[in-house]
Amino acid sequence: MSEPIVLGIESTCDETAAAVVQGRTLISNVVASSMDEHARYGGVIPEIASRAHAEAFVPCVSKALADANMTLSDVDAIAVSAGPGLAGCLAVGVSGAKSLAWAANKPIYGINHVIGHIAVTQLQFGPFPEDTLALIVSGGHTSLLHVEDVAHHIDVVGTTLDDAAGECFDKVARLLGFPYPGGPHIDRHAQLGDPHAIKVPQGLTQGKAGQQHPYDFSFSGVKTAVARWIEEQQAQGNEIPVDDVCASLADSVATVLAKKAMRGCEQYGSKTLIVGGGFSANSQLRAKLLEVGVEHGVEVRVPQLKLCTDNGAMVAMLGVNLVEAGVAPSNLDFAIDSAMP
């Protein structure tokens, strides 16, 4: 087959997105976000997000096809995120994608959103070398993965035992009075502060005793330590040095993520680390990973910002991988899985 053309559809959380990918080329990429509607509630409201998907689905898909100068008949397959994510949101995207596949008689692939965050880096950096490791960090996930074969086999090397890194940032941001999502605000303020001003624990730096492997993360204690420190300062009537709090938190989280990622690369003999997920937009993490990558002789592949956050290109790219690998499409009655592993 010549380079497969795949329409990718994404609706796991608050972004309705569609994109067309041909081989390793991004042909079109449309993202509509309902983030502004959630900001005043301090987090994503599933019911609001689901309704927004229902409204944005047809315009997004139509624009992605129009921007690609294509109709549905031009695509070889449709890929859609089937999980993990918010059930109501997934249901809208998956039902819509199934309708398109049925009407146009196209094969459909229900894909894993988290693996999409890995796959998308191919648009910028090309195919994965052997023994690639991937660090996926977002508001819902913090995982270190060994990518043996993106279409068939990925091993979990480590994961968070409690909060995800983005979740930890969002919670601290709330304490500091930033609107949701707070991660980007912490990033911005961290650039102005002293990363060593406040002692923030890194959490699970050595791995828990008796643990199967020392690659897991824990950010709940980090969040609590920062929250306590803020409370103490407030109780003493001290002004909170917001920039320093942000810089110290960002440094602690980036350091432990980078440390464990490099430890994993050493263990697996990986010379390539892929980074993905919304939190990979974080400046402190990007800088730290590139720095330790040079020290350890590991090529760190961090995608451009628009490919870090949720989008349709990641779904379409993984769809292309599945078509190329000859993986059988999903049956039209495949289920969504909000807790997909």
Q: Which residues contact ligand KG4 by CB under 6 A?
A: 13, 138-140, 166, 169-170, 181-184, 186-187, 277-279, 281-282, 309-310
Binding partner of residue 279 among Zn ion, ligand KG4, none, CB cut-off 5 to 8 Å per kind: ligand KG4
Q: Is 321 annotated as a binding residue?
A: no
Q: How far from the centroid of its chain's Cα atoms is residue 107's Cα?
A: 26
Query: Is 109 within 8 Å of 97 (Cβ atoms)?
Result: no
Give the integer Cα–Cα distance in Å for 61 and 286: 31
Q: Is 113 annotated as a binding residue?
A: yes
Nearer to Zn ion, 61 or 315 (CB): 315
| 15 φ, ψ (degrees, to nearest 5) | -110, 125
Nearer to Zn ion, 118 or 230 (CB): 118
Binding partner of residue 309 among Zn ion, ligand KG4, none, CB cut-off 5 to 8 Å per kind: ligand KG4
Q: Are strands 142-149 and 153-159 parallel, antiparallel or unpaired?
A: antiparallel
Nearer to Zn ion, 244 or 310 (CB): 310
- Using alpha carbons only, give the angle 295, 297, 301 rounded to the nearest 5 degrees: 100
Nearer to ligand KG4, 132 or 284 (CB): 284
310 binds Zn ion (CB under 5 A): yes
Minimum separation from the CB atom of position 308 to ligand KG4 (A): 7
Q: Is 138 annotated as a binding residue?
A: yes
Nearer to Zn ion, 204 or 314 (CB): 314
What separation in angstroms does the CA of 239 have from each of 171, 227, 231, 293, 304?
Answer: 20, 14, 11, 37, 36
Minimum separation from the CB atom of position 56 to ligand KG4 (A): 16
| 76 φ, ψ (degrees, to nearest 5) | -85, -30
Q: Which of 138, 272, 311, 321 is close enough to bind Zn ion by CB under 5 A?
A: 138
Q: Is 264 annotated as a binding residue?
A: no
Binding partner of residue 184 among Zn ion, ligand KG4, none, CB cut-off 5 to 8 Å per kind: ligand KG4
170 binds Zn ion (CB under 5 A): no
The burial class, CB within 10 Å (0-12 / 13-18 / 19+), for 207 is middle
The H or E element spanning position 142 is: strand 142-149
- Using alpha carbons only, give the angle 17, 43, 20 rounded to the nearest 5 degrees: 10
Nearer to ligand KG4, 39 or 327 (CB): 39
14 binds Zn ion (CB under 5 A): no
Q: Is 282 annotated as a binding residue?
A: yes
Give the integer Cα–Cα distance in Å for 202 and 213: 17
Binding partner of residue 170 among Zn ion, ligand KG4, none, CB cut-off 5 to 8 Å per kind: ligand KG4
Minimum separation from the CB atom of position 24 to ligand KG4 (A): 22
In the sheet that holds 132-137, the strands lie side by side as: 153-159, 142-149, 132-137, 272-276, 299-301
Nearer to Zn ion, 170 or 310 (CB): 310
**Under 8 Å CB-to-CB from 185, ≥6 apart: which residues?**
173, 176, 178, 179, 246
Treating both helix axes as pointing N-terminal to C-terminal, what angle do 165-175 and 242-268 enclose, rounded to 10 degrees? Answer: 170
Binding residues: 113, 117, 136-140, 170, 183, 187, 282, 310
Binding residues for substrate: 136-140, 170, 183, 187, 282
Binding residues for Fe cation: 113, 117, 310
User: Which residues form the interface with Zn ion (CB under 5 A)?
Assistant: 138, 310
